[in-house]
Amino acid sequence: MNYTIKQVSEMTGLSIPTIRYYDKEGLLPDLQRKESGYRIFSDRDLEAIDLIGCFKESGLTIREIRHFMSLVRQRDVTLDERLAIYQTHIARLEEKLAAVQNALEHSRRTLAFYEIAAKTGSEETAKDLYLARYGEENG
């Protein structure tokens, strides 16, 4: 199926200038154009845009994403390098997930403290009650 840039923008939530930027940066290597120059997006281009979003979310730079897309064009000869990139990608996501989980746990402990403080009207009282309830290791 083929899509216009406006349709792709609506489907992905990306702005039209962002999609044009991805094209200009070589991140959509197989993107077709009409004779008039208008971009024609395929389902494969949508998959590429989704992949770009995942890579960006894990911290890859545009340069790194462009490199990966150039490897895709080279087909099977680059499988090992693409595998290594994905291994790094997964490791980055796991690190980010662990950091977010730590922040969430810290925030939950802090929330519990402030809930006690709000009920008692005193941070000092809350500290004692919090430590009695949750222990020293969370303090």
Cα 62 to Cα 52: distance, rounded to the nearest angstrom: 9
Residues 23 and 48 in one domain: yes
* C-alpha of 44 from chain center: 20
- Which amino acid would we find at residue 9? S
* Model confidence at 130: pLDDT above 90: no
Last residue of a domain, one of 52, 73, 94: 73
Task: State the residue range of the domain holding 113.
Answer: 86-139
As given in the structure block, the two tokens for residue 3 are 């899509």
pTM above 0.85, yes or no: no
Residues 43 and 96 in one domain: no
Does a structural domain hold residue 78? no
Residues 66 and 101 in one domain: no
Tell me what pLDDT residue 136 has: 63
Give 57's pLDDT tier (boundaries 50, 70, 90): confident
Does a structural domain hold residue 49? yes
Residues 22 and 69 in one domain: yes
90 CB-contact burial (10 Å; exposed 0-12 / middle 13-18 / buried 19+): exposed
